[in-house]
Amino acid sequence: MARTREFDTEAVVDAAMEVFWSRGYEATSIQHLVEATGIGRGSLYAAFGSKDGLYEAALARYAAASTARMADRLDRDEPVRTVLRDLLLSLVDDTATDPAKRGCLMTNTAVERLPHDPTAGRIVGDAFDRIAESVTAALRRARARGELPSDADVTALADFVVTTIQGLRVQGKTGADRRRLASVVDTALHALPAPA
Protein backbone atom coordinates (compact mmCIF):
# COMPACT_ATOMS: atom_id res chain seq x y z
CA MET A 1 0.00 0.00 0.00
CA ALA A 2 1.47 3.36 -1.05
CA ARG A 3 2.11 5.91 1.69
CA THR A 4 0.07 9.09 1.59
CA ARG A 5 2.11 12.26 1.20
CA GLU A 6 2.24 13.83 4.65
CA PHE A 7 3.14 17.42 3.87
CA ASP A 8 1.63 20.49 2.26
CA THR A 9 3.13 20.62 -1.23
CA GLU A 10 2.41 24.34 -1.66
CA ALA A 11 4.11 25.15 1.65
CA VAL A 12 7.16 23.11 0.60
CA VAL A 13 7.32 24.90 -2.76
CA ASP A 14 7.00 28.28 -1.01
CA ALA A 15 9.80 27.43 1.43
CA ALA A 16 12.03 26.21 -1.40
CA MET A 17 11.23 29.34 -3.40
CA GLU A 18 12.54 31.51 -0.56
CA VAL A 19 15.79 29.52 -0.45
CA PHE A 20 16.35 29.62 -4.21
CA TRP A 21 15.44 33.31 -4.29
CA SER A 22 17.91 34.14 -1.53
CA ARG A 23 20.78 31.84 -2.50
CA GLY A 24 20.35 31.17 -6.22
CA TYR A 25 20.12 27.74 -7.82
CA GLU A 26 23.80 26.77 -7.78
CA ALA A 27 24.43 27.82 -4.18
CA THR A 28 21.38 25.93 -2.90
CA SER A 29 22.06 22.39 -1.77
CA ILE A 30 19.57 19.63 -1.11
CA GLN A 31 20.49 20.01 2.57
CA HIS A 32 19.46 23.68 2.46
CA LEU A 33 16.12 22.58 1.01
CA VAL A 34 15.67 19.83 3.60
CA GLU A 35 16.28 22.34 6.39
CA ALA A 36 13.98 24.98 4.91
CA THR A 37 11.10 22.66 4.09
CA GLY A 38 11.36 20.38 7.11
CA ILE A 39 10.96 17.24 5.02
CA GLY A 40 13.52 14.57 4.21
CA ARG A 41 15.53 14.07 1.06
CA GLY A 42 13.57 10.97 0.12
CA SER A 43 10.28 12.83 0.36
CA LEU A 44 11.63 15.75 -1.69
CA TYR A 45 12.86 13.42 -4.42
CA ALA A 46 9.62 11.42 -4.35
CA ALA A 47 7.51 14.56 -4.71
CA PHE A 48 9.62 16.58 -7.16
CA GLY A 49 12.01 14.10 -8.75
CA SER A 50 15.13 16.23 -8.31
CA LYS A 51 16.47 19.59 -7.21
CA ASP A 52 15.64 20.79 -10.73
CA GLY A 53 12.05 19.64 -10.35
CA LEU A 54 11.63 21.54 -7.08
CA TYR A 55 13.32 24.61 -8.58
CA GLU A 56 10.98 24.54 -11.56
CA ALA A 57 7.93 24.27 -9.27
CA ALA A 58 9.19 27.18 -7.14
CA LEU A 59 9.99 29.30 -10.19
CA ALA A 60 6.59 28.59 -11.78
CA ARG A 61 4.84 29.56 -8.54
CA TYR A 62 6.83 32.80 -8.26
CA ALA A 63 6.21 33.61 -11.94
CA ALA A 64 2.46 33.04 -11.66
CA ALA A 65 2.14 35.27 -8.58
CA SER A 66 4.40 37.98 -9.99
CA THR A 67 2.69 38.19 -13.38
CA ALA A 68 -0.76 38.20 -11.76
CA ARG A 69 0.21 41.10 -9.48
CA MET A 70 1.55 43.09 -12.43
CA ALA A 71 -1.55 42.35 -14.53
CA ASP A 72 -3.76 43.62 -11.69
CA ARG A 73 -1.72 46.82 -11.38
CA LEU A 74 -1.92 47.40 -15.14
CA ASP A 75 -5.67 46.74 -15.49
CA ARG A 76 -6.80 50.16 -14.27
CA ASP A 77 -8.88 52.82 -15.96
CA GLU A 78 -6.38 55.62 -15.42
CA PRO A 79 -3.92 57.44 -17.69
CA VAL A 80 -1.32 54.95 -18.90
CA ARG A 81 1.63 57.01 -17.70
CA THR A 82 0.15 57.00 -14.18
CA VAL A 83 -0.49 53.26 -14.34
CA LEU A 84 3.01 52.47 -15.62
CA ARG A 85 4.65 54.86 -13.15
CA ASP A 86 2.81 53.24 -10.24
CA LEU A 87 3.82 49.77 -11.44
CA LEU A 88 7.47 50.66 -11.99
CA LEU A 89 7.79 52.55 -8.70
CA SER A 90 6.20 49.64 -6.83
CA LEU A 91 8.98 47.43 -8.22
CA VAL A 92 11.58 50.01 -7.24
CA ASP A 93 10.14 50.11 -3.72
CA ASP A 94 10.17 46.30 -3.50
CA THR A 95 13.85 46.35 -4.37
CA ALA A 96 14.77 49.32 -2.19
CA THR A 97 13.11 47.88 0.91
CA ASP A 98 14.57 44.36 0.60
CA PRO A 99 17.66 44.30 2.84
CA ALA A 100 18.83 41.05 1.21
CA LYS A 101 18.72 42.62 -2.29
CA ARG A 102 17.28 39.41 -3.73
CA GLY A 103 15.88 41.12 -6.80
CA CYS A 104 13.40 39.16 -8.90
CA LEU A 105 13.59 35.37 -9.03
CA MET A 106 12.71 35.40 -12.75
CA THR A 107 15.44 37.91 -13.55
CA ASN A 108 17.90 36.02 -11.36
CA THR A 109 17.03 32.81 -13.19
CA ALA A 110 17.52 34.44 -16.59
CA VAL A 111 21.00 35.55 -15.53
CA GLU A 112 22.05 32.38 -13.71
CA ARG A 113 20.37 29.50 -15.54
CA LEU A 114 19.99 30.51 -19.18
CA PRO A 115 20.58 29.40 -21.85
CA HIS A 116 21.61 25.97 -20.50
CA ASP A 117 18.34 25.27 -18.62
CA PRO A 118 15.57 25.11 -21.25
CA THR A 119 12.77 24.40 -18.77
CA ALA A 120 13.63 27.41 -16.63
CA GLY A 121 14.00 29.40 -19.85
CA ARG A 122 10.48 28.46 -20.91
CA ILE A 123 9.01 29.41 -17.51
CA VAL A 124 10.78 32.77 -17.49
CA GLY A 125 10.10 33.46 -21.18
CA ASP A 126 6.40 32.68 -20.76
CA ALA A 127 6.23 34.96 -17.71
CA PHE A 128 7.93 37.82 -19.54
CA ASP A 129 5.49 37.30 -22.42
CA ARG A 130 2.53 37.49 -20.01
CA ILE A 131 3.88 40.74 -18.57
CA ALA A 132 4.33 42.14 -22.08
CA GLU A 133 0.75 41.15 -22.94
CA SER A 134 -0.57 43.00 -19.88
CA VAL A 135 1.49 46.08 -20.75
CA THR A 136 0.37 45.87 -24.39
CA ALA A 137 -3.28 45.78 -23.31
CA ALA A 138 -2.78 48.88 -21.16
CA LEU A 139 -1.03 50.67 -24.03
CA ARG A 140 -3.78 49.71 -26.50
CA ARG A 141 -6.38 51.21 -24.17
CA ALA A 142 -4.25 54.35 -23.91
CA ARG A 143 -3.88 54.57 -27.69
CA ALA A 144 -7.66 54.21 -28.11
CA ARG A 145 -8.16 57.08 -25.60
CA GLY A 146 -5.74 59.29 -27.51
CA GLU A 147 -2.95 59.18 -24.90
CA LEU A 148 -0.54 57.79 -27.51
CA PRO A 149 -0.23 58.49 -31.23
CA SER A 150 -2.65 56.44 -33.33
CA ASP A 151 0.29 54.75 -35.06
CA ALA A 152 2.19 53.95 -31.83
CA ASP A 153 3.74 50.46 -31.93
CA VAL A 154 2.33 49.18 -28.65
CA THR A 155 4.13 45.83 -28.99
CA ALA A 156 7.54 47.51 -29.23
CA LEU A 157 6.64 49.88 -26.40
CA ALA A 158 5.56 46.95 -24.21
CA ASP A 159 8.88 45.21 -24.88
CA PHE A 160 10.63 48.45 -23.89
CA VAL A 161 8.69 48.53 -20.60
CA VAL A 162 9.47 44.86 -19.85
CA THR A 163 13.15 45.52 -20.56
CA THR A 164 13.02 48.54 -18.25
CA ILE A 165 11.50 46.35 -15.52
CA GLN A 166 14.34 43.85 -15.84
CA GLY A 167 16.93 46.63 -15.80
CA LEU A 168 15.42 48.10 -12.65
CA ARG A 169 15.53 44.67 -11.01
CA VAL A 170 19.20 44.16 -11.86
CA GLN A 171 20.20 47.69 -10.84
CA GLY A 172 18.31 47.23 -7.58
CA LYS A 173 20.34 44.12 -6.80
CA THR A 174 23.52 46.13 -7.14
CA GLY A 175 22.31 48.52 -4.45
CA ALA A 176 21.18 51.46 -6.58
CA ASP A 177 19.15 53.74 -4.33
CA ARG A 178 15.49 54.61 -4.79
CA ARG A 179 16.20 58.13 -6.09
CA ARG A 180 18.40 56.79 -8.85
CA LEU A 181 15.92 54.07 -9.84
CA ALA A 182 12.99 56.51 -9.73
CA SER A 183 14.86 58.75 -12.18
CA VAL A 184 15.12 55.76 -14.54
CA VAL A 185 11.35 55.34 -14.26
CA ASP A 186 10.81 59.02 -15.14
CA THR A 187 13.17 58.75 -18.12
CA ALA A 188 11.40 55.64 -19.40
CA LEU A 189 7.99 57.33 -19.17
CA HIS A 190 9.29 60.38 -21.04
CA ALA A 191 10.34 58.01 -23.83
CA LEU A 192 6.71 57.09 -24.50
CA PRO A 193 5.51 58.97 -27.57
CA ALA A 194 3.12 61.86 -27.02
CA PRO A 195 -0.05 62.16 -29.08
CA ALA A 196 0.12 64.46 -32.08
Inside any domain, residue 163: yes
Q: What is the pTM of this model?
A: 0.91
Nearest Cα residue to 87 out of 14, 171, 158: 158
Amino acid symbol at 57: A
Inside any domain, residue 81: yes
For 10, the enclosing helix (H) or strand (E) is: helix 9-23
Q: Which CATH number fits the domain that encloses residue 120?
A: 1.10.357.10
Q: Which band of pLDDT confidence, cut at 50, 70 and 90, is reported for residue 95?
A: confident
Inside any domain, residue 24: no
**pLDDT tens-digit profile of 169-183?**
999 888 888 999 999
Q: Which band of pLDDT confidence, cut at 50, 70 and 90, is reported for residue 2?
A: very low
Inside any domain, residue 29: no
Inside any domain, residue 57: no
- Which range of residues forms the domain containing residue 100? 63-190
Q: What is the largest CA-CA distance in the chain?
A: 72
151 phi and psi, to 5 degrees? -100, 15
Number of domains observed in the structure of the chain: 1
